Structure 1
């Protein structure tokens, strides 16, 4: 039984939950009194959310509504990358919020470095936008997961396929 155990490190967003959160936020925008007769809107596109509002103050309120709905649906706010607020047509402001999917190359290298410096008997390899960690001992793999959870890489990490 010299079979190696492994797990994958990924950073993914559950898109059906994001869709539900955006729909809930849109409903709240329609119902709230302070947004009555306002041009505020939240739109979900492929891998981004577009926020539109009358001015920067209302835009921050729209962001707060969206974030509260995302947190309630279990989506980490670390998966959001905010763009700059821009002027748009009709005296409105617009902001794009990108949904971060996958682990960027620089972050993957940083995670590999942390695992190598930890002196745990595990090996890690970058496979596209995810990382596979292997080791002979499951306890070492669990220690690696605990170590990575303590570190702050600026993205939300999920640990899947633990075998």
Structure 2
């Protein structure tokens, strides 16, 4: 029986490259000369630090553009609403989520069931496995999920006939 897995993963190497490119661009920008501005990556959390709230927002825009160039979407990232003020610096954390949590997996399964596509979906830890009798049904399910309003970046892997 044909099947595939739906996962949500961030490529850590590309994220590190995006952070490095952001640091490089900040070093070249005129508005950041002589100003404390740093971007650091720890696990899947990027911390932006600068001397003013406006500069932190500018750092976020530079990071966003570098991530887009690297094929990383910030749609599933958790960005703090307000930057944190501590002493002379403002900081902002951008946490990238990995894996599909239970409520979102249930929402995806519900979406597949309501569409009347002849597939079965099951939750397998932090991914969702979709099986069906025909390959065309699975491709239709992939198209449905790509066009849905799910806020996480989804990848479809292990497509088997």
Give yes or no for contact 1:13–1:79 (8 Å, CA) kept in 2: no
The number of residues matched between the two structures is 159
CA distance in 2, matches of 1:152, 1:15: 25
TM-score (norm 2): 0.96
Query: What is the CA-CA distance between 1:79 and the residue it aligns to?
Result: 3.1
Cα RMSD, aligned residues only: 0.8
- CA apart distance, 1:137: 0.4
Give the aligned partner of residue 80 of structure 1. 77
Q: 1:56 aligns with which of 50, 53, 56?
A: 53
Provide runs of 4+ in structure 1 moved above 3 Å. none
Q: Is 1:11–1:156's contact at 8 Å kept on the other side of the alignment?
A: yes
TM-score normalised to structure 1 length: 0.95
Q: Is the 8 A contact 1:87 1:93 kept in 2?
A: yes
- How far, CA to CA, are the matches of 2:27 and 2:143 in structure 1? 43
* Structure 1, gaps ≥5 residues long: none
Stretches of structure 2 lacking an aligned partner (at least 5 in a row): none
Residue deviations 1:70-111, cap 9 Å, x none?
00011112132102310023x110011101101111100000
Q: Aligned match of 1:67 in 64, 69, 72?
A: 64
Question: Is 2:145 the partner of 1:151?
Answer: no
The residue aligned with 1:121 is 118
